[in-house]
Chain A
Amino acid sequence: MNTMAMSVAVVDYGMGNLRSVAKAIEHVAPHASVRVTADAAEIAAANRVVVPGQGAMPDCMRELTERHLRDAVMRAAAEKPFLGICVGLQMLFGHAEEGDVMGLEVLAGRVPRFPQAAMVMPDGSRLKVPHMGWNQVRQSEAHRSHPLWDGIADETRFYFVHSYYVEPQDAACIAGETTHGITFTSAIARENIFAVQFHPEKSAQAGLRLLENFMRWQP
């Protein structure tokens, strides 16, 4: 493949630390053209699309709509290598408990908050929310040979920071699971879509490897 011509759009809808995502991709794919963009035409023209996200789901959905980026993101999710990160994963689903808003409904399922009751340990200490730090991702049987897991050992730790998680209706899309009081879906895969709850751009070598795998991926 001609990597010189490879272009990736990092969708900028005004939320979160986009520079980190772009820098990490530039680091693993120095010849690719990485554009942080809020331009629907540029997103449509890119070979690959990354939707990062941080902050509150209602704000993210509102910004996406106000910047007229909904259609561009929907189209990218339908037809080209697509990587969702954090809220970029959550927005692919339906109802979000945070702010009582609907996501893009590309995948069926909801986005609840970590239940307080599940966070108290037998010794009386509590697991904290946000779930912040390095936790293991168990790769699902069905997706263990997914190109994005290539070279990444099962149960590798990635960096998480979130208070909400996705609950897919169709378990077949679950590519990874993580335990923090409850066991939740930390990665999903379906056709051209891969999306993760953790931050590969902040997950040292393992995260860079996942981004490198994404840049090579030919779904």
Chain B
Amino acid sequence: MLAKRIIPCLDVNAGRVVKGVNFVALRDAGDPVEIAQRYDAQGADEITFLDITASSDERDIILHIIEAVASQVFIPLTVGGGVRAVTDVRRLLNAGADKVSMNTAAVNNPQLVADAAAKVGTQCIVVAIDAKQTSPGKWEVFTHGGRKNVGLDVIDWARQVQLLGAGEILLTSMDRDGTKSGFDLALTRAVADAVTIPVIASGGVGSLAHLADGVTQGRADAVLAASIFHYGEFTVREAKEYMRQQGVEVRL
């Protein structure tokens, strides 16, 4: 049976991991290669890099980072942030990424999803959706870190990106992100049931129970988290052991 995936997410700024990853005895707390190796050793099923580099002349650094990680870490790597054109997708894949995630660019230009999928295959294309609840049982798509409502219903948009050729959806609840109060399970389940492609739940993880809930109640195919792993609260292995106890199929 297919295992539910646990995916640590790293924010990278100009080649350095930011948001203070706090592993014991890490030689260099900002080194993406060393951190990725740690997560691989803990049993992470994939690693996602979010490139938050603002300055355009430093944007190519992520390519070197992915190249370095991909020559040492042999699990799937997803990269998001700053992807605006099919050429960006190709360059990241050529550097060693397995999947490329797009968010704002997909909203602004849905054809980009179709063009990229046609060029590199749907399995390489992840569409990230930032969702906020606007009324009971209704969520809308936001960009700019949750500040801009783009006037799209999340369920409609999820179905549309599947049709356009996305191979996976990375779904983040902007209401829960950073709160440590758990995934928005109603949102996760509504999207997971609306599409036939895998859905990664994100935003709000504060405990191991939250990770398990995302799968059992939210019906997510994978769960993504940052801080609970970065600050050494739990290892990926501990998370998987807990999920297995809850009856979730995991790779251990």
Contacts and interface: CB of A to CB of B under 8 A. Distances in A.
Contacts of B219: 125
B2 A204 contact: no
B96 A54 contact: no
Interface in B189-218: 192-193, 196-199
A56 interface: yes
Main secondary structure of the interface of A (DSSP, over half): mixed
A32 to B, nearest CB: 15
A134 B71 CA distance: 20
Interface string B26-65: 0000000000000010000100000000000000000000
B234 interface: no
Interface residues of B, number: 36
Contacts of B2: 127, 131, 133-135, 160, 180
Interface string B72-85: 00111000000000
A202 B3 contact: no
A135 B1 contact: yes
A50 to B, nearest CB: 15
Contact of A19 (B1, B40, B96, B167): B96
A56 B124 CA distance: 12
A116 B70 CA distance: 34
Given A128-B199, A132-B221, 16 more contacts: A15-B121, A17-B94, A17-B97, A20-B98, A23-B70, A54-B121, A54-B123, A130-B123, A130-B168, A132-B168, A134-B5, A135-B1, A159-B75, A180-B1, A202-B98, A204-B75
